Chain A
């Protein structure tokens, strides 16, 4: 059984606000969560759900109101533990007067690497994140996506055992996102533990062994993407084109996109529907099962949370 890379116990963060800071806003409420060694863990939730707060608490950029956390068995207050951790901040920003090679060399110096080792690692990282040709350009001239790549490079530069990435796909074009996905998979292959936050659910579904869903500062579910949602078939979808004008009643239920139609029917009605469509001369392009997705699970949670928030607001009035 794999050990635990990250253990979070009852982690709570409240922010005081208002006159004399008498009011408190709870950003994170009693979070209990574990990330196993060697797994890719996705931390998903809408904006403001508490993902970045959790990660900042783990990195000791902010301090908890209550609770504790351990990484690789050591309390997060242990600074030396950071030798084994790589961290990519959300929308990273670095010293813009430095070049990519200089900023990576600067960060490498905190890991007691020899000059030769630093040089070799910096070169390797620049190549890995596709910044070899831009290595001598000051970061002030970098695009958001390029800064994200520098951020990723500095996070994995020292070969950490645990990599924590806050919105690693943010600001990247499709090519960049693909490259980040490849890097995450490569890290997993090398036995590293990766925890990353995202609100792009397809990335989480594609990469993660397990995901934690956080909404409104509370953890709403943890598990493999497939086990979180009800995997039962919810219906069948028929994709078809019409070869001639038709006014078959089924068409009223279909959704048209260009020349193509999508029709969702119950599993037991599938063959009858296909017969009707064929009778009108429709060309069936595909038939597929409709299953609940992580997105639907996620959206249901968000909708429930918003409904609860408005109910509290109304009762408060």
Chain B
């Protein structure tokens, strides 16, 4: 575990030195522009507009980082052969994978937290105060981070057995499908054959459910997010990531490097 930690800290350092956190400048400019615009055009819906825009930006920026850097985590190391010297050290391949995953999730945590702070500052600027119900915004940000961790795990898994381009396509594809898992569960199974119904149900539980992470509407309207959902999403992310990372480690531990 200590070795995974060493890899994780180096992955974080790589992200910082490769200027991944520069996206924060873009986010800051976007939020400043939004704050000025909202002050001039909206009447009474400042919070809704600012929170919706801020959370969407946090989510999209995080998605881009988690997909593109997530896929590159291992594939870049294999491609550039930086992995060779490392794997000759007393490091297990799963420790390397876990470290890369943890490093990017840590990067996303810092990035998301910084953007959340920016969003809160803009909310204070627009509303001149903060209320207890605004905590829902922080919960929404936490859910975005959980979602990003899940995406990183999927990107890592796909990058272990296919090309970076296909891994990006698979990850993005699975994310989009995961947004509609609830629709799959709501299908009228009673009109299906038992086999089809069982398959649909099975598939709906196998696919990652990203819909549960979206509480933007609640946060934008200052409504509280149920505590049970926070617990459920946390456990779901931890379990799903553990399964996906185990699969990735199984593939990667037998992979012949170039």
Contacts and interface: CB of A to CB of B under 8 A. Distances in A.
A191 to B, nearest CB: 21
B88 A85 contact: yes
Contact of B254 (A59, A63, A79, A155): A63
Interface stretch (A87-95, A129-137, A209-217, A296-304): A87-95
Contacts of B18: 97
A207 to B, nearest CB: 22
B90 A89 contact: no
Interface stretch (A34-42, A106-114, A232-240, A285-293): A106-114
A52 to B, nearest CB: 11
B82 A93 contact: yes
B257 interface: yes
B14 A97 contact: yes
A91 B3 CA distance: 25
Given A61-B257, A79-B92, A97-B17, A107 B81 contact: no
Interface residues of A, number: 31
A80 interface: yes
B90 A111 contact: yes
A62 B257 contact: yes
Interface in A64-98: 79-83, 85-89, 91-95, 97-98
A116 B3 CA distance: 18
B84 A107 contact: no
B85 A97 contact: no
A86 B88 CA distance: 7
Contacts of B186: none
B257 A92 contact: no
B80 interface: yes
A150 B140 CA distance: 46
A87 B85 contact: yes
A151 B86 CA distance: 11
A56 B257 contact: yes
A56 B87 CA distance: 11
Contacts of B3: 110
Interface string B2-17: 0100100010011001
Most chain A CB within 10 A, of B17, B84, B254, is at B84
Contact of A110 (B13, B14, B17, B89): B89
B204 to A, nearest CB: 34
A85 B82 CA distance: 18
Interface in B112-165: none
Interface residues of B, number: 22
Contacts of B84: 59, 61, 87, 89, 92
Contacts of B92: 79
A94 B85 contact: yes
A61 B82 contact: no
A98 B257 CA distance: 23
B251 interface: no
Contacts of A89: 81, 84-85, 88
A149 to B, nearest CB: 13
Contact of B256 (A62, A80, A95, A109): A62
B91 A79 contact: yes
Nearest to B87: A61
A167 to B, nearest CB: 13
Contact of A59 (B6, B10, B17, B88): B88
A91 to B, nearest CB: 8
Contact of B6 (A88, A106, A151, A154): A106
A60 interface: yes
Closest 7 CB pairs of A and B: A87-B88, A89-B84, A97-B17, A110-B89, A62-B256, A82-B90, A61-B257
Interface of B: 3, 6, 10, 13-14, 17-18, 80-82, 84-92, 254, 256-257
Given A59-B88, A110-B90, 14 more contacts: A61-B84, A61-B88, A61-B256, A62-B256, A63-B256, A82-B89, A83-B90, A85-B88, A86-B88, A97-B14, A98-B13, A106-B6, A107-B85, A111-B89
7 contacts: A61-B88, A63-B254, A80-B90, A82-B90, A83-B90, A92-B84, A97-B14
